[in-house]
Amino acid sequence: MILEGKRAIVTGISKGGGGIGRAIALALAEAGADVAVAGHSSLAAAEAVAAEITALGRRGIGAQCNVAEAADVEKFLAQVLTSWGGLDIVVNNAGTTRDGLLLRMSEEDWDMVLDSNLKGTFLMTRAVLKPMVKQRRGKIVNITSVMGLIANPGQANYSASKAGLIGFTRTAAKEVASRNIQINAVAPGFIETAMTEKMTEELKATVQKDIPAGRLGTPEDVAQAVLFLCSPASDYITGQTLTVDGGMIL
């Protein structure tokens, strides 16, 4: 198992407990890692995913954490370090949307999305780099989006946050590469989650026509890309953004 003995954090467990966060956490556990998961809106959902990790024979921790609050981040990290004595992998998956045309977008909606998607990744990364630099190893994967690479009307705040993540990933990776820490990003396209379930069938069909692979992605598609970037197979890869979109933005 490629992650045997590794200790990981995955943020962004959704209220329903499904989606990309859960798929990533289970993929890491199946590969041998102990995984601590955190969600903003539901402790129960995080604990349910932690129970699934435990059922796979790995150690699981479920916690509630608002990654946009430094105190929450430090508390969650302290819980993990106290329990496991160290940390090897972090997947910054927490994020949200508040869509609307720019002319009508409120300052509150702008701040909420930037705080969750970009500031949250900054706070978590800054915190976990301390133990990683000390042990001179670590893997960090930031979940961005193809909307950080292309334009999508109605998502100025979301696109800005996700484009910011790509720039953040590149700079952070360069700062710590000499410490044997790799920081990369994964940019999903349209993935079958609770978010895309809100789309009409007509809209889904329109979107699917623009995807060369002919289908929407699954959370497991994203999880396998993350697993690669968390594994020893990616030890000489850093500062990169891996697009998982079925060829949508080609």
Instruction: Point out the residues that are catalytic.
Output: 158
Nearest-angstrom CA–CA distance, 87 and 53: 17
Task: Give the residue carrying structure tokens 């700079």.
Answer: 171
DSSP assignment of 179-192 equals: GTEEEEEEEE-SB-
Nearest-angstrom CA–CA distance, 69 and 20: 22
Of 32, 27, 60, 28, the closest CA to residue 46 belongs to 60
Indicate the SS3 state at residue 36: strand
Structure tokens at 36: 């601590």
Structure tokens at 13: 């467990």
Supply angle C-alpha 192, 198, 204, rounded to 5.
Answer: 60
Q: How many CB atoms lie within 10 A of CB 174?
A: 12
Of 113, 225, 216, the closest CA to residue 164 belongs to 113
Of 34, 27, 31, the closest CA to residue 9 belongs to 34
Q: How far apart are the first and last CA of the chain?
A: 34
Element (H, E) at 103: none
